[in-house]
Amino acid sequence: MTPYSAVATLGRWGRERVEGLGWAGRFVGDTLRAAGDVKTWGPEVTKHATSLGVQSLPIALYIALFTGIVLALLASYSFTGAVPLYFVGTLVEKTVTMELAPVLTGLALAGRVGANIAAQLGTMRVTEQIDALETLAFDPQSYLVVPRVIAGTIMFPIIVGLAMVVGVGAGWLASVLLLDLASVDFVKGMRLFFDSFDVRYGLVKAGSFGMAVTWIGCMQGMTARGGAEGVGRAATSAVVYSAVIILVLDAFWAMAWLLGRDA
């Protein structure tokens, strides 16, 4: 490889990244513009809310259940002999509410919801159904993207909120049944440093995750090319990008809300 071609390759890579960002920005802009077409996306929201949200509840609660149990046991293991055991309640509440419920649920739903959306829309793209919609003067953004993004943004906080309750409840039950910890002590620890901000923080994060996962799934599906292989690549990319964006957003919210906040 000559120096010239090496520099050219670097330039192409940079251009493609910038192009990707530009395309993503244009896609987001199109979605926001399509959000005004309520008559088109309105009737579709509950259908997608059911498939993305209601049907995702079991996996989300299942994850929360075991997360709470394991967290209580880990906290007990770490605290024994050094920190009063009622701090298990504090740790379970803080960790589940602020971090684990939103992030783990987000990652799980990124796999389920993101891949589902990318596969659906990718199949529609490669089978030219989206082209047919455009031919029939349907805006694919209004009909396909907006209801999914809105459903995801609404349902993710609901699912994460229930996961918070189940996770903390599971940690509580595990502490009482498996550890030598009285119920009142767990509740004391849970209430010790509880702030309703913890819940708000987790729910806002969950909403942003839902929006990001559905948007990325839609983008990857809408840009799928090359038949079934392209659909598979789109689904994989949707999961990967969703997971990465979830972690980036997690860090963003932590820096935006937690840095400098007086607990």
Partner 1 sequence: MKRANDFAVGITILLGIVIIVGATLWVSQADFGRRDQAVTARFRDVGGVRIGTPVVVRGVQAGRVDAMELADNGFVEVRLELDQGVTLPREPVVLLNESSLFGEWQATITEREAATRDEELARQLSEASLNDDLLPGATLPDIARLTAVAGRIAGDVASVAERVRVAFDDQAAREMRNSIRNFADLSTVLAQTVREQSNNLTTMSSEVRGGVESLVRSAELLRLVAERVDSSTTRGEIKQIVDDAAEAARQLRETGRRLVAISGQLGRSQDRLESMLTRGDSIATRISEGRGSLGLMINDPSLYRNSDSLMIQLRALIADVQKNPRRYINLRIF
> Considering only residues 98, 118, 155, 245, which one is a binding residue for partner 1 as defined by CB under 8 A?
155
Which span sits near partner 1 by CB under 8 A: 4-12, 14-22, 188-196, 218-226? 188-196
* Residue 170 binding partner 1, by CB under 8 A: no
- The answer to whether 108 and 60 are in contact (CB under 8 A) is yes
- Cα separation, 219 vs 23, in Å, equals 10
- Cα separation, 172 vs 186, in Å, equals 7
Closest C-alpha among 63, 94, 82, 78 to residue 179: 78
* Residue 194 binding partner 1, by CB under 8 A: yes
Closest C-alpha among 205, 202, 201, 221 to residue 148: 221
Which span sits near partner 1 by CB under 8 A: 4-12, 18-26, 141-149, 151-159? 151-159
Which span sits near partner 1 by CB under 8 A: 27-35, 124-132, 149-157, 243-251? 149-157
A 10 A CB-CB count for 118 gives: 31
- The answer to whether 188 and 86 are in contact (CB under 8 A) is yes
Subset of residues 196 to 235 that bind partner 1, contact rule: CB under 8 A: 196, 199, 203
Residues lying near partner 1 in the complex (CB under 8 A): 43, 46-47, 49-50, 53-54, 57, 83-84, 87, 93, 154-155, 157-159, 161-162, 164-165, 168, 190-192, 194-196, 199, 203, 262-263
